[in-house]
Every structure is written in C-alpha cells, then in structure tokens.
Structure 1
C-alpha cells in the first residue's frame, strides 16, 4: 500500500517526490547512524514521505526529544498524521521546508540539533533549494548536522555553499543506490550567516 501511494505521488508530483519507491531500511539506518540520540533535544525532518526515516528516529530517540516533520505533499501529510498520532513530542506540518524558521517559532522550538532531509534537491527549483539550505543554517545549533541523501553527487558542490564539511557515504542496498551527505558548518560559516 505504501509503495503504491509513493508511486502514485511520484507520477503526480515528480519534482517534489523525487523517487518511485520509498527509501530502504538500509538507507534509513545510514541516515541516522551519526545522530547522538542521547543528547539530541530537537530533530527536524524535511520531506518524510511515508515515514521510513521517521520510524528510525522515533525508535532510537530519547522520549523527551521533540521531532518536527515538514511534509509538503498533502497525501503523505495525512498518512503521517494517522501513522504517528499516538507519538508524544511529534509535530507534523503540511508546508514547505522553506518556511522552517516560522515553524520552529510556532512550536516554540529554539533550534535543531539535526535536520534530516529526504528532499530531492536535484529536481527542486534552485531558488527553493537556496532558501531551504540558507534557513537550515539559521536553525541548526553550533555542532548541529544537516543529513540528506541524493541519488548522485551532482548537488554536493551546491550544498557546499552552505556547509563547509560534508562526509559522503554510499548505500547500494537502496533502489536506486543513494549517497548520504552528513553536513556541518565551521565557526566561520556560522558567523557569516549570523547563526
């Protein structure tokens, strides 16, 4: 059922869904492996889709950790609301990650320790990607990390405009195989963006 919904949403919204199938559990493991779940107080996820990464986050998090999900697709949003309705400290927004600064204010979240992203930067309009990444640098705490995956390394140079350190790992047990980018900022970049 989840795969059919994903395929349908890809056909209807190929630029924003970005994949024919949901991410594999192997990719989900790689996306969350660098997260310090004991200390993380606030985790944000962009484009959770059907919730493959979200399930991993909720399975491993400290119960007090607040998780904010931002999903632009209405069908996925409805699915996520139903799926995680019994979870405490989980907030789900139907909107664009471009507006993440406003969503944090709305839910009284002071910053993000980690931002996990399933957004397809290769197919999003450049202006949208720029705004999302710039606003991500504004909400991340000093040692915070932005973790995203892409199907190619094509957007690595683009993301490096915002994050000075990017560790790349490949996960071949995903259809298609994917690259996980663990991104962080140096002190100089934080000062530059006024974080």
Structure 2
C-alpha cells in the first residue's frame, strides 16, 4: 500500500490506525531485536498495518514457527493476505487483538512466545486497551515478551500494571520518533 493509501486509512479510522505514515525500517529492527528466533514457536503480531514489522518477522523466523497476525482494518488485512497469505505458517486474521487467546489455542499452542504490537494504545478506547492487555498477559508464556511502540511514554504506567519489567528505548529514525516498550512478566528482562 502506498503512503497515500496509508494516509487514507488513517483519515478513515484514526483511532485504530494511529499514524499517518508506515513505521521505518529502524523502528522495525528495534521491534524485533529482543526476539530469540531460535526458540520462538508462536509469535503474534497485533495491528501490522502495511506489514513493516511483518516483513521482518517473516524474514527472521524459522519456517516452522507460527506467526499469527491480527488486523482489524479490512483494507490492511486484504493487502497483507495478498503479500504474505501464501507463506506457510503465517496466518492473517481479520479480528481484534482482544481475541488473541482463542487464535493461539486454535493453532495448537497454550501460550505465545512473543506478541509484537503496532496498536495505538493512546488513541484506543480505555476499555479496549485494557481487554487487549489482559488477553496479552494471559496469552504470553512465563518467559514471553510483549513488544510495542508508542509515540509517547503516556501508557507506560498502564503497561506496568500488567508487566513487572519494562525496558524502553527511543527510536529517533522514525516519523515521528517512537518509544519501543519490551514488557515481561518476570523480574529478569
């Protein structure tokens, strides 16, 4: 999808798209930097938009690793299916991240190893954000990580109510610059 198409989707659904341009390759690299692809069996991605992170996940994961992609925007979902729908063990689902545990179980896993999120938590309704974070915390394995980015640190306190350890890194090479939050349940990050 072109930058114009992305902007059109933002204007159509600003609460769920959350940005006027796709994420940069630098932000994508930082989003996947802490994933141990040699051990990951099930990775979930929320709100991939045009698939900037999706592309990096597919390039880096083992062929047998399951990648579940949850996207509510029908236009983005269609684009993702056209680009990545033919790849084995990549499942593109037009649904909300609120239902992540259902899809993880449906694909034969008790827990996910990593959840990567492009969701704009600052613009989502508070009750939706809470349900997504509850489901994410419940769906992640004990050693799992929830990795998300935001354009401010406003939601850090909310993330801390679900995850004990949070590492924050600023990525300046993105428009606008973004913060990457790597969140874990345990005490060692």
**Counterpart in the other structure of 2:138:** 138
**Counterpart in the other structure of 1:8:** 8
What SS does structure 2 have at the residue aligned with 1:36? coil
Unaligned runs of 5+ in 1: 188-195
What SS does structure 1 have at the residue aligned with 2:176? coil
TM-score, length-normalised on structure 2?
A: 0.96
**Counterpart in the other structure of 1:87:** 87
TM-score, length-normalised on structure 1?
A: 0.94
1:102 & 1:33 partners in 2: Cα distance?
A: 27
What SS does structure 2 have at the residue aligned with 1:141? strand
**Counterpart in the other structure of 2:51:** 51
2:71 & 2:132 partners in 1: Cα distance?
A: 13
1:9 & 1:139 partners in 2: Cα distance?
A: 29
Q: Tell me the CA shift for residue 20 of structure 1.
A: 0.1
What SS does structure 1 have at the residue aligned with 2:144? strand
User: Which structure 1 residue ranges, 4+ long, deviate > 4 Å from structure 2?
Assistant: none
1:121 & 1:26 partners in 2: Cα distance?
A: 21
2:85 & 2:132 partners in 1: Cα distance?
A: 27
1:85 & 1:130 partners in 2: Cα distance?
A: 30
Q: Tell me the CA shift for residue 106 of structure 1.
A: 2.5
2:85 & 2:47 partners in 1: Cα distance?
A: 18
| Equivalenced residues, count | 187
**Counterpart in the other structure of 2:63:** 63
**Counterpart in the other structure of 2:23:** 23
Within the alignment, does 1:162 sit opposite 2:162 as a pair?
A: yes
2:108 & 2:2 partners in 1: Cα distance?
A: 32
Q: Tell me the CA shift for residue 104 of structure 1.
A: 1.7
**Counterpart in the other structure of 1:192:** none
Render the CA deviation track for 1:2-44: whole Å, top value 9, x for unaligned.
2122100000000000000000000000000000011101000
Across the aligned residues of Structure 1 and Structure 2, the Cα RMSD in angstroms comes to: 1.0
**Counterpart in the other structure of 1:193:** none
2:102 & 2:61 partners in 1: Cα distance?
A: 24
What SS does structure 2 have at the residue aligned with 1:145? strand
Render the CA deviation track for 1:59-87: whole Å, top value 9, x for unaligned.
11111110000000000000001100221
